[in-house]
Amino acid sequence: MRRYLIAGLLLAAAAAPMAEAGPLGKFFANMRRDYRRNNCWPDPFVAPDRAHVYAPFGVMVQNGWRAYNTLGEHHFRPDDARLNEAGMNRLRAILSEAPPEYRAVFVAGGADPQLTAARVAEVQELVAKRLGLLRSDVYGVISFYSYFTDKPVGKYKINVCTGTACFVRGAERIMHEFSAALGVHEGGTTKDMKFTLNGLRCVGACSLAPVVMVNDRVYGKVTAKQVAQILADHP
């Protein structure tokens, strides 16, 4: 009986190409495709490998949009923190023409913290006006999402995930290590403006807990001993 069953299956597999259009044909076609994918050289072509290959392109796209969406020195009038015509045009383009997922606005820091704060306030005001919102609504979004900020931050943003999975696997200890190594508390920036240390809610990589992100780079299963190496990776 068992032999007949196997013979039947083999027959069906052999007949499948003839019925490529039917559901059985599709099933065997997918099976053949997956077999080839998972046995290709040099390594099985599996999702993590693919993600690894895509990641640098994702970072390039992100960085490209970030550069495009940054209001720099030349977008502000030299004598005060108001946007000039080029700045207004760029802001309008970001808010209406960029794909919805890339409509974050970045403001380049001024010569001193006061100038930076004045520029950020000006841009918040204009964004609110343009979108028909109150400035407090705009501020509410900025302060709610940890990815946004209206204060100058360091070159490298260290975000220690403090979500539940990371917390139970020692995120607090990791945060403490970074804090001690950098000499700043959570939310602080080192004097040389190199590192800003922050906590972050779940970044969706709980299986890698505890997770640390430095800008776009993700470190998983971080131990206290790795903290010094992570800092050394960012000269």
Give the Cα separation of 227 and 224 in Å (integer): 6
The answer to whether 117 contacts ligand FES (rule: CB under 6 A) is no
For residue 204, what are its two tokens? 């969706």
Nearer to ligand FES by C-beta: 158 or 161?
A: 161
Report phi then psi at 184, rounded to 5.
-135, 155
The answer to whether 209 contacts ligand FES (rule: CB under 6 A) is yes
Q: Which of residues 130-189 bind ligand FES (CB under 6 A)?
A: 161, 163-166
Min. distance of Cβ 130 from ligand FES in angstroms?
34
Query: Could you tell me which stretch among 31-39, 66-74, 107-115, 198-206 binds ligand FES (CB under 6 A)?
Result: 198-206
The answer to whether 206 contacts ligand FES (rule: CB under 6 A) is yes
Binding mask 24-53 for ligand FES (x = CB under 6 A): ------------------------------
The answer to whether 213 contacts ligand FES (rule: CB under 6 A) is no
Q: What is the residue whose two structure tokens read 């392109």? A: 57
Report phi then psi at 155, rounded to 5.
-60, -40
CB 120 within 8 A of CB 150: yes
Dump strand ranges (E) for the chain: 70-71, 106-107, 156-161, 195-200, 212-214, 217-219
The answer to whether 214 contacts ligand FES (rule: CB under 6 A) is no
Of all residues in the shown chain, the one whose CB is closest to ligand FES is: 163
Query: Could you tell me which stretch among 55-63, 141-149, 178-186, 202-210 binds ligand FES (CB under 6 A)?
Result: 202-210
CB 75 within 8 A of CB 84: yes
Q: Which of 29, 4, 9 is nearest to 19 (CA)?
A: 29
Among 29, 118, 128, 203, binds ligand FES (CB under 6 A): 203
For residue 106, what are its two tokens? 């970045």
Among 13, 205, 213, 224, binds ligand FES (CB under 6 A): 205
How many of the other CB atoms lie within 10 Å of CB of 99?
7
Q: Cα–chain-centroid distance for residue 119?
A: 25
Min. distance of Cβ 199 from ligand FES in angstroms?
10
Which residues are at the interface with ligand FES (CB under 6 A)? 161, 163-166, 202-206, 209, 211
